[in-house]
Amino acid sequence: MLDITKDIHSLTTFRRQSGDFMRQLRKTKRPLVLTVKGKAAVVVQDAEAYQRLLDLAAQADAMEGIRQGLADVARGRARPAKEAFGEVRRKHGIPR
């Protein structure tokens, strides 16, 4: 989680002390917000922490797909796979 008292810095400061910031990123796994002219411009994050974030996003996406599929079944907007595959075979002339 971002700590606004420690994790917001100017891009200029980051450039001057990049080694220190890299150590901080690896140790804390918290992202840094870098500012330009006082406004947030970019977020820098440790590669391992970023990969973990990507994995969580992919998992959440899969869970949402499952939730939507279950909702479709509950609303009667689904049909057996055998029926759907049969329709595709007939439509495209695919033999069994």
Residues near 1 by beta carbon (within 8 Å), at least 6 away in sequence: 30
pTM exceeds cut of 0.85: no
In 3-state terms, what secondary structure has residue 11? helix
Tens-digit pLDDT profile for the chain (96 aa)?
Answer: 888 888 999 999 999 999 999 999 999 999 999 999 999 999 999 999 999 999 999 999 999 999 999 999 999 999 999 999 999 999 999 998
In 3D space, the residue among 10, 55, 8, 46 whose CA is nearest the CA of residue 27 turns out to be 46
Residues near 58 by beta carbon (within 8 Å), at least 6 away in sequence: none
Q: For residue 78, report the phi and psi dihedrals to the nearest 5 degrees.
A: -140, 160
Residues near 6 by beta carbon (within 8 Å), at least 6 away in sequence: 30
